[in-house]
Amino acid sequence: MTVGLYSISVRGFDVPGLLAWAASHRIPFVHLRGGPRGVDLAAQPVATVKRWAAAARSTVPVTGVTADVDLADLAASDPARRARACRDLAGLVEAADLLGAGWVRLLACTPLTADALSAVGRLPVVAGSRLPLLVEPHHRQWMTLNGVQALARLVADCPAVGLLADTAQLATAPPTSAKGAVEAILDRARVLHLSDPGTGWDAPAHADVAAAAAARARAGAFAEVAVEWTGADRSPHGCLARYHAAVAWWQQHTGSPA
């Protein structure tokens, strides 16, 4: 299994420059931060997105795009907030599709009930999405029995929705539910971010999560795996060093080629 790179891991490039740099270092694909806190993909002129798509075809593909839209925005009781989130998501999906990406990530920073998640899954922008929408749990309450059950129900009821697992986020699981919750999320995740906040995988909780992810990869799990480096030095040189360290760790623990 080849290992890609999430774009927040490096700074100083525009999109074509990032893709050219990735190709020059044999990074096979990129996940692009596409919301307003990234390249704001949906706000770009169509001509710009088409130019970026051409750059991707000649360098390395952008296989996934991450949104800043949170599930809580789509579940909001305020109609204006909910409508704005739906418009933002629809615009990003359209632009990501034009770019050639295969999925869009949704954040899950705010715990929601199973009923609220089910309502999100019935929204036309979610249920009818032209690209798969991968929910990334970003709060430790998702890594509890109730949280995992709510996510599992959403994924089961809405074929357009899947999960993206981030090892650093999963490492925050409450100790009382950590093992079972982490395993349940990893079992359902289509994409994995091997996330290094600057400590590698030395902390016991993170090491356990990364090892569990590697075990599943050996059994054929995950359509894609990408490195997410969030430490202090995100220069091209610093990022590349952490990327190669992560790939070496992944190869060692999965027996897969880089």
Q: Residue 221 pLDDT more than 70?
A: yes
Q: Are the C-beta atoms of residues 100 and 57 closer than 8 Å to each other?
A: yes
- If one compares 179 and 55, the residue with the highest pLDDT of the two is 55
List of residues 6+ apart from 167 with CB closer than 8 A: 192, 193, 194, 195, 201, 206, 209, 210, 213
Q: How confident is the model at residue 255 (pLDDT cuts 50, 70, 90)?
A: confident
Q: Residue 258 pLDDT more than 80?
A: no
As beta bridge partners, residue 193 has 166, 226
Single out the residue of 187, 193, 160, 165 nearest to residue 31, CA to CA. Answer: 193
pTM of the model: 0.96
What whole-number percentage of the chain has pLDDT above 70? 99
Q: Residue 257 pLDDT more than 70?
A: no
> Which letter does DSSP use for residue 39 in this model?
T
- pLDDT for 105 equals 98
- Give alpha helix (H) positions in the chain: 15-24, 46-58, 71-74, 79-99, 114-121, 124-127, 145-157, 167-170, 178-188, 204-218, 236-254
Q: Residue 238 pLDDT more than 90?
A: yes
Q: Counting every residue, how long is the chain?
A: 258
Across the chain, what does the average pLDDT equal? 95
Rounded average pLDDT over 135-147: 94
